[in-house]
């Protein structure tokens, strides 16, 4: 008793449950907040405490949860989800030789918890010299949470389903975060039974056992925001709102202007350089990285897209694209995977680019679809220039040199190559390679055969009745 526990810290993240109240086919801890699975937030908060080992107890959709975990943590399988006490038992089995130090237990569904609070919990536990310390909060609405009763070194937690009317009125709740002396929790879990409303092994019962033996204490979270646990989708939205604002604040502190935080969604993984301005209605997601001095938005949605310094991207969508330094994109451009825009390029209104490289200074200003193409430097594609890259079976490549000029409504039937400084007349249909420096025009439409037969009105009705019309 009163022994300051100075040994190592081990961490157990409980993430095996299904999360019934989410009404989801996906395990609760896999639901994302600002693009990152919930379980990864608690793991990140644990990292500064440098646990000797971090064990994540997985069960429901174990493989899927395992797949999102960072490399340094270990997952351990809880075959049947028999309760939080059983989950900790599984973690302790993996720590079989450890009998000294602290086991920090963290529910996987408290994504807002900070590393500071975890460190304070451990500090409180150590300085109190007790067997167990639990993080608690006094909340307005305690619905669904374990109610905490503390008395002379014994902390008793009653689940709502097991609580009396009087106990239900208690507003001090268990946040599902505990520091245990590892030997104490090992011993206590051996004594816990399943005689409760859910027939589960409650971790909280171990707390009372430890309290009677070696004292237990509570520690109150300072910032009540951290007490937002996620049990259903409305909690999920609340957590997202808080995390989203935290991310925006961090960018603003680092020198990014966010004109309208309310309508701006930036995922935790995104990087932005200083003096960039983010305009309203913008979504920046996944591995998106934005340089400095850019203007992004309004109404722009970039996923896994790289943007160089000084670029302007307005009312546009990017998916796995690269936008060069000083480029301008939009309004209403759609850059699909493999669209790589060189320096000071322009992709304008109603243009779609896929798997296409555009050299420095080139322009695709209006109404174009360019797919599977490589465009040199200083080339200008006229309004409505289209690559016919797909023949109905295979995709083909188009190569356009430097300094090329295409007239409006040029059709490039791939595979085809246009030499440097070639000039293509308006409306031309190019199905042969054009040598450098040449002017090519035409391929005017000509009558070749009868048009495909259209069904007569009567036939159409018949087909509709037969349900065969497409």
221 binds ligand UD1 (CB under 6 A): no
C-alpha to C-alpha distance for 223 and 81, rounded to whole angstroms: 31
Question: Cβ contacts of residue 67 below 8 Å, gap of 6+?
Answer: none
Of 42 and 340, which CB lies nearer to ligand UD1 in the complex structure?
A: 42
How many angstroms separate the Cα of 405 from the Cα of each of 241, 349, 363, 374, 382?
A: 49, 18, 10, 14, 7
Question: Is 426 marked as binding a ligand?
Answer: yes
Bridge partners, residue 216, by sequence: 132
C-alpha to C-alpha distance for 323 and 312, rounded to whole angstroms: 9
Residues 96-125 that bind ligand UD1 (CB under 6 A): 107-109
199-207, 260-268, 284-292, 353-361 -> range binding ligand UD1 (CB under 6 A): 199-207
88 binds ligand UD1 (CB under 6 A): no
**How many CB atoms lie under 10 A from the CB of residue 169?**
10
Give least dist CB 234 to ligand UD1, A.
15
Of 233 and 463, which CB lies nearer to ligand UD1 in the complex structure?
A: 233
**How many CB atoms lie under 10 A from the CB of residue 465?**
9
Q: Which of 10, 178, 202, 369 binds ligand UD1 (CB under 6 A)?
A: 202
Of 18 and 366, which CB lies nearer to ligand UD1 in the complex structure?
A: 18
Question: Is 380 marked as binding a ligand?
Answer: yes
Distance of CA 394 to the CA centre of its chain: 34
- Report the candidate in 211, 226, 224, 4 with the shortest Cα–Cα distance to residue 101: 4
91 binds ligand UD1 (CB under 6 A): no
78-86, 111-119, 268-276, 410-418 -> range binding ligand UD1 (CB under 6 A): 78-86
Contact in structure between 442 and 433 (CB atoms under 8 Å): no
Question: Cβ contacts of residue 71 below 8 Å, gap of 6+?
Answer: none
Give least dist CB 84 to ligand UD1, A.
3
C-alpha to C-alpha distance for 142 and 160, rounded to whole angstroms: 9
Q: Which tokens in the block code for residue 232?
A: 């259903």
Catalytic residue among 125, 265, 315, 366: 366
79-87, 117-125, 318-326, 394-402 -> range binding ligand UD1 (CB under 6 A): 79-87
The verdict on whether 396 is a catalytic residue reads no
Question: Is 433 marked as binding a ligand?
Answer: no
- Report the candidate in 235, 221, 305, 229 with the shortest Cα–Cα distance to residue 267: 305
145 binds ligand UD1 (CB under 6 A): yes
C-alpha to C-alpha distance for 188 and 14, rounded to whole angstroms: 18
Give least dist CB 397 to ligand UD1, A.
50
- Report the candidate in 338, 328, 303 with the shortest Cα–Cα distance to residue 317: 303
Half-sphere exposure for 8 (CA within 13 Å, toward CB): 11
229 binds ligand UD1 (CB under 6 A): yes
C-alpha to C-alpha distance for 76 and 16, rounded to whole angstroms: 9
C-alpha to C-alpha distance for 449 and 434, rounded to whole angstroms: 28
**Burial track 437-447 (b if 16+ CB lie within 10 A, e otherwise):** eeebeeeeeee
What is the gyration radius of the CA atoms in the chain, in angstroms? 31
Give least dist CB 130 to ligand UD1, A.
19
Of 75 and 387, which CB lies nearer to ligand UD1 in the complex structure?
A: 75
Cis ω before 24 (30° cut-off from 0): no
Number of residues that bind ligand UD1 (CB under 6 A): 29
Of 157 and 327, which CB lies nearer to ligand UD1 in the complex structure?
A: 157
Contact in structure between 358 and 376 (CB atoms under 8 Å): no
194 binds ligand UD1 (CB under 6 A): no
Residues 407-466 that bind ligand UD1 (CB under 6 A): none
Q: Which of 5, 86, 184, 402 binds ligand UD1 (CB under 6 A)?
A: 86
Contact in structure between 298 and 280 (CB atoms under 8 Å): yes
Of 54 and 78, which CB lies nearer to ligand UD1 in the complex structure?
A: 78
Residues 6-25 that bind ligand UD1 (CB under 6 A): 14-17
Question: Is 50 marked as binding a ligand?
Answer: no
Q: Which of 56, 62, 73, 87 binds ligand UD1 (CB under 6 A)?
A: 87
159 binds ligand UD1 (CB under 6 A): yes
As annotated, the binding site for Mg(2+) includes 109, 231
Question: Could you list the residues that contact ligand UD1 (CB under 6 A)?
Answer: 14-17, 57, 59, 78, 81-84, 86-87, 107-109, 145-146, 157, 159, 173-176, 202-204, 229, 231
Q: Annotated binding site for acetyl-CoA: which residue ranges?
A: 383, 389-390, 426
- The binding site for UDP-N-acetyl-alpha-D-glucosamine consists of 14-17, 28, 78, 83-84, 146, 159, 174, 231, 336, 354, 369, 380
Active site residues: 366
């Amino acid at each position: 008793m009163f022994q300051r526990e100075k040994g190592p810290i081990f961490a157990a993240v409980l993430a095996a449950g299904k999360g019934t109240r989410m009404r989801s086919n996906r395990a609760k801890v896999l639901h994302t907040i600002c693009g990152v699975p919930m379980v990864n937030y608690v793991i990140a908060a644990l990292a500064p405490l440098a646990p000797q080992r971090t064990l994540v107890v997985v069960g429901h959709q174990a493989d899927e949860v395992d797949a999102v975990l960072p490399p340094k943590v270990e997952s351990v399988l809880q075959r049947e989800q028999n309760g939080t006490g059983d989950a900790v038992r599984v973690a302790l089995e993996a720590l079989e030789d450890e009998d000294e130090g602290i086991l920090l237990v963290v529910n996987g569904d408290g994504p807002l918890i900070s590393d500071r609070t975890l460190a304070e919990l451990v500090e409180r536990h150590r300085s109190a010299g007790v067997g167990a310390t639990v993080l608690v909060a006094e909340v307005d609405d305690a619905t669904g949470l374990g109610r905490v009763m503390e008395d002379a070194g014994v902390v008793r937690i009653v689940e709502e389903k097991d609580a009396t009317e009087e106990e239900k009125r208690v507003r001090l709740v268990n946040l599902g975060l505990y520091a245990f002396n590892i030997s104490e929790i090992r011993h206590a879990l051996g004594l816990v039974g399943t005689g409760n409303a859910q027939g589960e092994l409650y971790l909280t019962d171990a707390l009372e056992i430890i309290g009677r033996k070696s004292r237990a204490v509570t520690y109150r979270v300072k910032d009540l925001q951290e007490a937002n646990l996620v049990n259903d989708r409305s909690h999920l939205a609340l957590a997202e709102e808080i995390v989203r604002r935290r991310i925006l604040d961090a960018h603003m502190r680092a020198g990014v202007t966010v004109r309208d935080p309310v309508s701006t969604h930036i995922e935790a993984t995104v990087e932005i350089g200083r003096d960039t301005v983010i305009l309203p209605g913008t979504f920046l997601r996944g591995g998106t990285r934005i340089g400095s001095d850019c203007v992004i938005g309004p109404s722009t949605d970039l996923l896994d897209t790289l943007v160089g310094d000084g670029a302007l991207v307005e009312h546009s969508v990017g998916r796995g694209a690269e936008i060069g330094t000083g480029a301008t994109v939009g309004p209403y451009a759609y850059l699909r995977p493999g669209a790589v825009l060189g320096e000071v390029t322009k992709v304008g209104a109603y243009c779609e680019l896929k798997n296409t490289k555009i050299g420095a200074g080139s322009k695709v200003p209006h109404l174009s679809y360019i797919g599977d193409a490589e465009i040199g430097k200083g080339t200008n594609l006229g309004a409505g220039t289209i690559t016919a890259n797909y023949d109905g079976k295979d995709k083909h490549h188009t190569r356009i040199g430097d300094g090329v000029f295409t007239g409006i409504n040029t059709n490039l039937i791939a595979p085809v190559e246009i030499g440097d400084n070639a000039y293509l007349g308006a409306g031309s249909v190019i199905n042969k390679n054009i040598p450098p420096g040449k002017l090519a025009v035409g391929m005017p439409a000509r009558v070749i055969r009868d048009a495909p037969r259209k069904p007569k009105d009567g036939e159409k009705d018949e087909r509709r009745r037969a349900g065969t019309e497409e």
